[in-house]
Structure 1
Amino acid sequence: MAGIANLRPATRPSIVDNVSLRNINLHFPAAPDPWHRPGKSQPCTAAVKLSYSSAVAAANADDVSLSLDYGKLYRRIETAVRDSTKSQDGGRLSAAAEAIVSNDVRVIAGRIANCGLGLLDETIAGVRRMDHLQAHPESPSRRRASQASRRLSGVSASVPKELQSATSPEVLNGMFGECEVLLHLPNAHLRAEGGLSFRTLQTWVYADDSASLENAVESSRQVAIVEQEFRVESIRCHCILGVNSHERIEKQAVIITLDFRGSGEAAWASTFLKTYQEMVRTIAERVENTSYQTVEALATSVARTATMDFGNDSVTVLVEKPSALAFVERAGVQITRSKAFFAEQDFSKARGGI
């Protein structure tokens, strides 16, 4: 098996289309509930975007047999989530294994992504079988070829056979597949009115030394996580904030959203999952004891807490004031800061004080 460093995604095709499912209602234990109790069921919605190349053949032939079946995709996701706490033999997982599934949204998101990429793989194989039957009319199986395969042959008849490869927009590209999954837990934290969201982007990758398309697909294809993102939405706090005299008299509401993005590496995402509940509570409590004059100063303070105190590599902080302007719903400032930024800032201050 090729090492991780030797794996790479296929070249992105010129035409990429998508099949999507939005707001799938799920019911499963996913992360600790707002009261910090692990394994408690809570509402969750999922969105899936499966990217492939391409829908040209299905569109030109106007045949559902050449398309990705989003109904089948939904049923596979439903089954995968329902069976997430079952072992391969149908029994329940051990307590330790079930705790991992229940408390880590990445596990469920990964299973959903596998459903999408697995369906794409099967669809590609089915279209190729139909194309093979068309190419071998002497085969007894030729008589069982569907009307869909005959239409597919007609669509690509004008294309020279030697040019009908995986890169042709007339056929499904056997090398490229990408699945984006978004999970939203609206009740994940008592202080976050918008809840917790997790997004992952996963794609097919191959060994650099694969000599052919068939060899790459059969021997070296793996699924790699390209991006991950956690978002804690709308943490409502009340504090003194602003330079105007009337803003210094009474606390006003501020809405804080935290966004953490990174690669597919497990370490940084695990750090977030282990600390986010305490981090959100700490940030909310500290904000309510502040009295900054600028939104920028408050946002920077929040970013410092999220990175320096809780070990996150970087964070994007959005701070909004619902009461700042009479005819504007919210006015705010967004910044992105890293742990390295604050470490360098602290070093410069310490050096200047020597």
Structure 2
Amino acid sequence: MDKVILKNLRFDLVVGLDAWRRWNKPQPVFISLEVQPISNFEAAAAKDDVSLTMDYGKLYKKISAGLALVPQFATVQMLIAQISELVTDYLVLDIDILLPKAILQSRAGVLYRSQFDRSSSDLPAFSLSMTIKEIACDCIIGVNPHERIYKQSLFFDISVPFIGPVTSNADNSEDSEKLHNMAQEVIARVEGSSYLTVEALATAVAQIVTMNYDHTVAKIRVEKPSAIATIEAAAVEITRSRSFFDNKDFWKVKLP
């Protein structure tokens, strides 16, 4: 399980829509790699010889040069595919892409986590998930009398998996538009709601993500910073599939 790690390579790249829903606008992109090479580091350690390992300096230069040749990426999936083609001789490759300013209402950006796994003798495995981090919303939430009077701030993380392979020439540019639409709808619906429990609100958000945006499953984390004065935040995290919402409706606007 030896690995070479490059953490937070910073680039300014054109990737999908920017925070203002504009095409062809560069935005900051942070890329982290974890590479499990075909050969472990025993020989390099025994002889103290960099030629017997995966040289992270050369890997960094190869990725930087390769990304500089591509003027724009219609989607993050295309960026991930391009990076995977620049890394060779690995068993497992993990790529994290953070777009810290991709969504206006997100305090921590959008994180894509992908893995290319060649360690099995079967066909290579691929997985990809996306998390919109810390979407800020204000709403009526809570059972205490004072919580029924004033809105309070909540922060949502929305995580969903993607199905299917990625290629460097696949153009799913509509995914960027859907991402913005989903975040905007969640904010609008949450801020117009009034729930007693965070659990019910989180489930309602999962219903929007799965039923309105065709995701098979959604993980929703809701932080409530004002819940208890002496701690940073209380939080609830749920995972719900699309099938869970058959014949159920958790989204109900409730007046205080």
TM-score higher than 0.5 here? yes
Tell me the residue number matched to 1:76. Answer: 62
8 A Cα contact 2:161 2:215, kept in partner? no
Q: Offset at 1:312?
A: 1.1
1:251-278 CA distance string (max 9 Å, x none):
0000001011245446xx9575441100
Tell me the residue number matched to 1:155. Answer: none
Aligned counterpart in structure 2 of residue 198 of structure 1, from 87, 94, 112: 112
Tell me the residue number matched to 1:234. Answer: 134
Matched residues in 1 for 2:200 and 2:248: separation?
A: 15
Matched residues in 1 for 2:143 and 2:121: separation?
A: 58
8 A Cα contact 1:113 1:180, kept in partner? no
- Tell me, yes or no, if structure 1 residue 283 matches structure 2 residue 186: yes
Task: Mark the CA change 1:323 to 1:40 in structure 2 (over 3 Å): closer, same or farther.
Answer: same
Structure with the higher strand share, 1 or 2: 2
Q: Offset at 1:329?
A: 0.6
8 A Cα contact 1:38 1:102, kept in partner? no
Tell me the residue number matched to 2:85. Answer: 114
Tell me the residue number matched to 2:21. Answer: 36
8 A Cα contact 2:159 2:218, kept in partner? yes
Task: Mark the CA change 1:331 to 1:207 in structure 2 (over 3 Å): closer, same or farther.
Answer: closer
Matched residues in 2 for 1:284 and 1:36: separation?
A: 16
Amino acid in structure 2 at the alignment position of 1:328: I
Tell me the residue number matched to 2:242. Answer: 339
Q: Which has the larger radius of gyration?
A: 1
- Tell me, yes or no, if structure 1 residue 47 matches structure 2 residue 18: no
Gaps of 5+ in 2: 250-256
Identity across aligned pairs (percent)? Answer: 35
Q: Offset at 1:207?
A: 7.5
**Secondary structure at the counterpart of residue 54 of structure 2:** coil
Matched residues in 2 for 1:207 and 1:328: separation?
A: 48
Tell me the residue number matched to 2:207. Answer: 304
8 A Cα contact 1:29 1:39, kept in partner? yes
Q: Using structure 2 for the length normalisation, give the TM-score.
A: 0.88
**Secondary structure at the counterpart of residue 334 of structure 1:** strand
8 A Cα contact 2:105 2:135, kept in partner? yes
8 A Cα contact 1:321 1:330, kept in partner? yes
1:213-246 CA distance string (max 9 Å, x none):
xxxxxxxxx8x45210101000000000000011
What is the aligned length? 243
Please give the root-mean-square deviation of Cα atoms over the aligned residues, in Å.
2.1
Q: Offset at 1:205?
A: 7.2
Amino acid in structure 2 at the alignment position of 1:114: E
8 A Cα contact 1:225 1:263, kept in partner? no
Matched residues in 1 for 2:180 and 2:208: separation?
A: 13
Gaps of 5+ in 1: 1-15, 86-100, 122-175, 209-221, 347-354
Amino acid in structure 1 at the alignment position of 2:101: N
- Tell me, yes or no, if structure 1 residue 21 matches structure 2 residue 6: yes
- Tell me, yes or no, if structure 1 residue 103 matches structure 2 residue 77: no
Matched residues in 1 for 2:108 and 2:34: separation?
A: 22
Task: Mark the CA change 1:288 to 1:111 in structure 2 (over 3 Å): closer, same or farther.
Answer: same
Matched residues in 1 for 2:125 and 2:112: separation?
A: 13
Task: Mark the CA change 1:264 to 1:18 in structure 2 (over 3 Å): closer, same or farther.
Answer: farther
Report matched runs for 1:1-354 at 5 Å. 16-52=1-37, 53-85=39-71, 101-116=72-87, 118=88, 121=89, 177-204=91-118, 224=124, 226-265=126-165, 272-343=175-246, 345=248
Matched residues in 1 for 2:221 and 2:53: separation?
A: 41
8 A Cα contact 1:317 1:334, kept in partner? yes
Q: Using structure 1 for the length normalisation, give the TM-score.
A: 0.65
Q: Offset at 1:103?
A: 2.2
**Secondary structure at the counterpart of residue 238 of structure 1:** strand
